């Protein structure tokens, strides 16, 4: 089979197309023939070694969708030809998160990912793809969509009529917009691009702010919310944007701390606003298979389709990652595995 690997090139890593034998399923395992995979910022972190993780020799990407190729002994509920996708954390089925689950994260240290023609995964980590979704759309869900669901629904307990601030227009952010709009919330989005903001307005947002033209964008959010602030913040920037997110959150509100787009450093301001506002902040790292199933049910009931910015072919995978790194996209970037 063909697959990509992270391979060292002097001081950096690169993705190299290579060949491996098609894996055989073990007990309670399934071999999936992949049809599509999608990119997340985590993949760029690995490639540029921003977090110091050892992924040399690992197949990249955590998100993929395909069909069941073969099943191993003891597998129930899946058969050859079934359309499936795997949870980001193969071992997190339900309940509270455990640090032990980190080693089961697809496309990370010690666990091959989905940029391959065939992958072997535990049957317990598989979910069926709803009929209304294509392989390309389904491949967008395991990381970004479930992260947004965890942030808003599971940890944020979002309610109809709540207000949500979404930073940026990447995968997690756009799914947060779609979930919020579908639940009857007022959703506000920031971006440095007026063209991107025009696209998100078409998704039903209540307000947008260009943070390049309005440097004090937290004040604009206060104006848009009649100086109340927002009930939920989808914080994907990290240390560089956290102070403004704290300024935007309403009393008793919730900040979902998700991304590190501005780096891994400490925040540049006091965390006391969280205390003074009686607000809360949660660290969000994807979710369990059980939560994934709940999210799929919601998506299907609302007819939510992922926003696909661009689809690359398998042989164009390095170019897909370069495009992702440019930050030009709105929503998800997908690689078709034909």
Burial 160-197 (b: 16+ CB within 10 A, else e): eebbbbbbbbbbbbbbbbbbbbebebbbbbbbeeeebb
The pLDDT value recorded for residue 86 is 98
**Neighbouring residues of 70: CB distance < 8 A, sequence distance ≥ 6:** 24, 25, 30, 31, 80
pLDDT in tens, 90-135: 999 999 999 999 999 999 999 999 999 999 999 999 999 999 999 9
pTM of the model as a whole: 0.96
pLDDT-based confidence at residue 58 (cuts at 50, 70, 90): very high
pLDDT higher than 80, residue 148? yes
pLDDT higher than 90, residue 263? no
Query: DSSP of 181-193, one letter per residue?
Result: HHTT-EEEEEES-
**Neighbouring residues of 185: CB distance < 8 A, sequence distance ≥ 6:** 158, 160, 161, 162, 163, 164
The pLDDT value recorded for residue 260 is 72
pLDDT in tens, 199-255: 999 999 999 999 999 999 999 999 999 999 999 999 998 888 999 999 999 999 999
Q: How far apart are CA 286 and CA 300, in angstroms?
A: 20
Side-chain-side CA neighbours of 296 within 13 Å: the count stands at 26
Check if the beta carbon of residue 306 is closer than 8 Å to that of residue 285.
no
Check if the beta carbon of residue 115 is closer than 8 Å to that of residue 320.
no
Strands (E), 72-174: 83-86, 118-122, 126-128, 163-167
pLDDT higher than 90, residue 26? yes
């Amino acid at each position: 089979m063909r697959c990509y690997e992270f391979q060292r090139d002097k001081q950096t890593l690169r993705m190299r197309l290579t060949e491996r034998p098609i894996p055989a399923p073990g007990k309670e395992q399934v071999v999936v023939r992949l049809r599509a995979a999608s990119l997340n910022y985590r993949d760029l972190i690995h490639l540029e070694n921003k977090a110091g993780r050892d992924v040399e020799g690992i197949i990249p990407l955590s998100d993929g969708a395909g069909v069941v190729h073969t099943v191993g002994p003891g597998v129930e509920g899946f058969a050859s030809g079934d359309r499936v996708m795997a949870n980001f954390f193969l071992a997190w089925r339900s309940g509270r998160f455990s640090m032990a689950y980190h080693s089961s994260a697809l496309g990370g240290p010690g666990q091959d990912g989905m940029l391959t023609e065939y992958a072997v995964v535990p049957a317990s980590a598989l979910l069926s793809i709803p009929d209304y979704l294509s392989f390309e759309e389904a491949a967008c869900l395991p990381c970004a969509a479930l992260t947004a669901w965890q942030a808003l629904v599971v940890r944020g307990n979002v309610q109809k009529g709540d207000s949500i601030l979404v930073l940026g227009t990447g995968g997690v952010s756009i799914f947060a917009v779609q979930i919020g709009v579908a639940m009857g919330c007022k959703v506000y989005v920031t971006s440095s691009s007026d063209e991107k903001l025009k696209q998100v307005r078409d998704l039903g947002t209540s307000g947008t702010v260009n943070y390049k033209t309005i440097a004090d964008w937290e004040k604009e959010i206060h104006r848009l919310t009649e100086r109340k602030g927002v009930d939920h913040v989808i914080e994907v920037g990290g240390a560089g944007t956290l102070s403004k997110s704290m300024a935007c959150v309403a009393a008793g509100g919730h900040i979902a701390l998700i991304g590190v787009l501005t780096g891994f450093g400490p925040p540049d301001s006091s965390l006391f606003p969280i205390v003074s506002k009686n607000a809360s902040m949660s660290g969000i790292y994807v979710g369990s298979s059980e939560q994934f199933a709940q999210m799929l049910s919601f998506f299907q009931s609302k007819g939510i389709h992922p926003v696909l910015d661009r689809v690359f072919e398998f042989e164009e995978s390095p170019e897909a990652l370069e495009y992702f790194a440019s930050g030009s996209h709105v929503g998800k970037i997908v690689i078709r595995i034909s």
